[in-house]
Structure 1
Amino acid sequence: MTEARPVRRQARGERRIAEILDAALALFAEAGYEGTSTNAIAARAGISPGSLYQYFPNKDAIADALSQRLLDELRAAHAAAFDLTDVAGAPIAGLVSRVVDPLVAFNVAHPGARALLGDAATPAAVTGRSRPLHAAVTDRVTAIVQARAPHLPTPDAERTAFVTVQIVAALMGPIVAASGPDRAALVTELKNALTGYLTPLTE
């Protein structure tokens, strides 16, 4: 009986931390990093600022913990997106869908991720963690391009990968902001744009 209480207390603490991080992520999506205060996070989480400070000393610490959680999930999304077989022989449209769908799913599930990891006001220590992961995406797209078009010089393949990633980044915000049929239509447009761009370069 004496051991159950600390276990329950620990579970309560973990649940409270998750609630704080969820509240922060939602607010970062709505107001950006700079426009979000710890008081607003506490209010959204349904706790007092004093209770919040029992878990996090400041907003930077919240962002740091949140970025760790998001990056773990983003790695999983990237693994699903780039777990590809028969890259050289598969239709471009199919490859595009297999890459885009997990990335869209991650960003839709975490609409504040882009605001947190890409906001200029976010501490460099937080945004810096995501840079190697974003660079790895470009590297993986480069590898796909090279597998499809081995005749392309490496600089051309890298440039093609860069443009591909930028197209996805440009449309991801509107996709996340949309809903229902509008979101589905934008995802289709994104896939069509990527397929149209990559087909003449890689076939």
Structure 2
Amino acid sequence: MGITSAWSISAHDDTFIGELAPRLLPLIEAERNEPLARERWKSWTTVPSGSEPSVEFLDLTCGGQHVQKMYDGLTPDDPFCMLHGIWGQEDIGDRIFLSVQSKDWALSSLFHALGPARAALLPGWCGNFLLTSAEVRATLPRVEQALTFDPGERATIERRDWLYYQDEEESVLDGPLRMWRFAAESGMGLCGVSCVIH
């Protein structure tokens, strides 16, 4: 049975970020605090750059069961889901980067390209984050450090067979940084969510 995964980064005003925080932040912290997730991250940091992704790496970056609730619907009493509540906002327009992969993990492609040292500069946990406008501005220098490549680095990364985005309008190497800069310039916050689409 195949899978389809998605990773989104969307820009929102601070009011919406504040409304989303009690729903999403505890889920991200639950993912971050799982001992197995921390063990997988530590294991990944010891793998030589450019190595084929391990099963442990894929498990780390495929989206966890806690944040997955943002796609499935939180609870019967709180049916909020990102499909309608985040992605489906009428005025979302260019305020979103969305990577959807069939039979592959959307976030894994970027993290494998970056390697653990650069990936560690990104806020949140494994592609999941919720930032106010002030936090976006504060984290922009680190994100630029993680996602800015000289021509040689870019060429090396793009030669890797494992970097998937050929069918998408925007590369995973470009979309996240575009969103950070857009949000910083616009005074907006950011929401990043990685999930499996059923």
TM-score (norm 2): 0.28
Work out which structure has the larger RCO, using CA pairs closer than 8 Å and 6 or more positions apart in sequence: 2
Give the helix-richer structure, 1 or 2: 1
Give the strand-richer structure, 1 or 2: 2
TM-score (norm 1): 0.28
